[in-house]
Amino acid sequence: MPAVACPIPDCDYLTEDLDAVIVAALLTAHGTTHTQGPTAAAKIDRVRRPVISAAGTREEWEYFLSRWSDYLFVCLFALRPADH
Ligand SMILES: [Zn+2]
């Protein structure tokens, strides 16, 4: 099988001239660099989502809000499209 180029525009990834099964596997593995799905999910997983008890004090609530905005910031950053 001839070498196969990545179908994503502006991507110059090119597989080796290998067996079709291997080329398909290479393209599949390379395709994950475009989707960012698993990567973003893994990043978010490492950040603990803040929790608060129903009987929290005002200080606990303010702490929760600041933790929550940090959490949202990390999520938004992780979900940005790749500069690829
Ligand atoms: Zn590509």
Residue-wise pLDDT for 29-63, tens only, equals 777 777 665 555 555 556 566 666 666 677 877 77
Highest mean predicted confidence (pLDDT) among 2-16, 23-37, 62-76: 2-16
Q: How many domains does the chain have?
A: 2
Whether residues 80 and 41 share a domain: the answer is: yes
- 11 pLDDT band, cuts 50/70/90, is confident
How close is the Cα of 67 to the center of ligand 1, in Å?
36
Q: Shortest CA distance to 38 belongs to which of 79, 84, 83?
A: 79
Say if residue 22 is in the same domain as residue 8: yes
pLDDT of residue 75: 58
Instruction: Show the domain range for 67.
Output: 36-84
40 and 2 together in one domain: no
Dist. CA 30 → ligand 1 center (Å) = 6
Together in a domain, 44 and 58: yes
Distance CA 17, CA 4 (A): 8
